[in-house]
Structure 1
């Protein structure tokens, strides 16, 4: 999810920790847990510093090692030990570690529900896992947790807050219920798309929108890519791309020449529904690699790599990234 949501959930997780009597009774421990859950809720996204080595390198490692199984255990250690020393809560080190661990797991878990996905089973598997259920930013979840954080803030300054832990327990229960509903909705829509297109054996990816009643989909069959939307339960196909054309493009010498670039190599480690095309230009060729999962409703593929070749099919430049406004779909 987005950075703001992760940090907000770090705050509310610290509120949930108030279910422990020791946290309520010891302000130093409460402050240590709040600092720890904030750090833990953001820690996996510290891979953003990989951008300093270029966007292609960032794509290769984003939501990879920092979201892996070992990282779930390592991040809490890195934060719990210094925080225990700073706040003088060595007697509660295990509790502090547990809440930071919960923050890291929550971060990775929420990313798993996104369409972009995570490599959370590393080092045992580099497979990208994604549940295609939540947007990068979920208004309902953000508002729910923001309301709880606001109530906690004013209750704390007002001298109250006796039932903070119980309040956040209800908030997290509501969040889990919401995610369960969205998951069931997603599963129904996948079946609906396959039936509507008569492609029961196809691979279908959904991309949720900010509206509960609008989803984008891409379905890959043995012969085609189908791109469309589900509006209020109705399946609407916008585009259809032949995989025969794709296979012809993939083996073309111009396309093969583009595969030596860092951008294409990084793209191929992540992309799943690959569509590639090329066109001749006055000064050479342009090769466009795209992941069909992330299509724009204006019938564009915003995420991919553009490789410029000269007439001798030597690489002039390559650019990898998401070519869209932050407020435009898909929200991944």
Structure 2
């Protein structure tokens, strides 16, 4: 999720605590945005952002550290600061849990495991979740000053949010089973890997990407109708790509994020070749996140490169 959505979720969830435990409520809001402070790694460049975002601050170790600090402070002094830290830990759990449902995932098991975990249940910008949060925030604004009403509204919002995530998870698992069964029904022996990514607007529509020999097949899966639409065959140019591109940090960073990151366009002009590489899984609202464009000369040396992050 983007940091704005996290902040709205935290504020709506914590509103019901303000009248009784304001320190705890403030902590929940802060915890819902704190993990995304790693976005400041962007100051170190695009590669640093890809390397650090949704990694260490999104791990169980980071949450545990805050939890231990709050426990130690409570034992030592039993002040409101310990409740603030407890709230931050709760908010961080909410943040990491939501990001686990997204497509690029988080390094939740760091330092024991470096790989990311992604459930692919909800895209990081999701209209139904945003609408539900805006409704909850509107009701919180309407009931502001009435502690009892705020508690009921926040409780109902959190319950509805958990129900939405559960249902979306069930739909996503159904979508993956359906995509696999459709491949088997088509006797698709070339589809050794399948990716199923949720779309931004409709919970029952998913973006499918599967291997197809020296190409990839992309399509849109409608779980409600049980069929695929907009099937396209995307030729891959990885084998023609010079080693200089594969050695680029942007290429290596994106390949670590997605095994469906490929060179999908190749154009030769005036003795120079242009390769365009992108993640075939992420096609929501025609995003170009991660797209790498490289122009190489006849000797395979890079003349120009551009990375969109």
Both structures adopt the same fold (TM-score exceeding 0.5): yes
SS at the partner of 1:130?
A: coil
In structure 1, how many angstroms separate the alpha carbons of the residues matched to 2:158 and 2:26?
A: 20
In structure 1, how many angstroms separate the alpha carbons of the residues matched to 2:15 and 2:289?
A: 39
Task: Tell me whether 1:162 sits opposite 2:148 in the alignment.
Answer: yes
**TM-aligned CA distance change 1:204 to 1:271, over 3 Å:** closer
Pairwise CA distance, 1:313: 2.3
Task: Indicate the residue corresponding to 1:183 in structure 2.
Answer: 169
Is the contact between residue 203 and residue 221 of structure 1 (CA under 8 Å) also seen in structure 2? Answer: no
**TM-aligned CA distance change 1:46 to 1:136, over 3 Å:** same
Is the contact between residue 194 and residue 202 of structure 1 (CA under 8 Å) also seen in structure 2? Answer: no
1:272-321 Cα shifts (integer Å, max 9, x gaps): 213225443325222322222113687x9763322222333222232222
In structure 2, how many angstroms separate the alpha carbons of the residues matched to 1:259 and 1:70?
A: 33
In structure 1, how many angstroms separate the alpha carbons of the residues matched to 2:48 and 2:293?
A: 16
1:199-248 Cα shifts (integer Å, max 9, x gaps): 58643322323123422211236665221012342212521246xxx4xx
Task: Indicate the residue corresponding to 2:129 in structure 1.
Answer: 141
SS at the partner of 2:31?
A: helix
Task: Indicate the residue corresponding to 2:19 in structure 1.
Answer: 24
Is the contact between residue 292 and residue 308 of structure 2 (CA under 8 Å) also seen in structure 1? Answer: yes
Pairwise CA distance, 1:259: 2.0
Gaps of 5+ in 2: none
Equivalent residue runs for 1:36-51 within 5 Å:
36-51=27-42
Is the contact between residue 60 and residue 270 of structure 1 (CA under 8 Å) also seen in structure 2? Answer: no
Pairwise CA distance, 1:130: 1.2
In structure 2, how many angstroms separate the alpha carbons of the residues matched to 1:129 and 1:56?
A: 20
**With structure 1 as the length reference, what TM-score do the two structures score?**
0.78
Equivalent residue runs for 1:189-228 within 5 Å:
189-198=175-184, 199=188, 202-220=193-211, 224-228=215-219
Query: 98, 111, 118: which one pairs with 2:86?
Result: 98
Task: Indicate the residue corresponding to 2:106 in structure 1.
Answer: 118
Query: 286, 295, 300: which one pairs with 1:308?
Result: 295
SS at the partner of 1:303?
A: coil
1:82-141 Cα shifts (integer Å, max 9, x gaps): x99xxxx95244433222111111111111111222222221112221111112233333
Count of residues in correspondence between the two structures: 298
Pairwise CA distance, 1:77: 7.5
- The farther-off stretch of 130-139 and 91-100 is 91-100
Q: CA RMSD in A?
A: 3.0
In structure 2, how many angstroms separate the alpha carbons of the residues matched to 1:222 and 1:202?
A: 11
- The farther-off stretch of 257-266 and 39-48 is 257-266
**With structure 2 as the length reference, what TM-score do the two structures score?**
0.83
In structure 1, how many angstroms separate the alpha carbons of the residues matched to 2:261 and 2:49?
A: 19
Query: 242, 261, 265: which one pairs with 1:255?
Result: 242
Pairwise CA distance, 1:76: 6.4
In structure 2, how many angstroms separate the alpha carbons of the residues matched to 1:154 and 1:205?
A: 39
1:4-23 Cα shifts (integer Å, max 9, x gaps): 2100111123235x2xxxx6
1:232-275 Cα shifts (integer Å, max 9, x gaps): 42212521246xxx4xx4344x4212122222222222222132
Is the contact between residue 258 and residue 315 of structure 1 (CA under 8 Å) also seen in structure 2? Answer: yes
In structure 2, how many angstroms separate the alpha carbons of the residues matched to 1:147 and 1:39?
A: 21
Is the contact between residue 261 and residue 318 of structure 1 (CA under 8 Å) also seen in structure 2? Answer: no
SS at the partner of 1:125?
A: coil
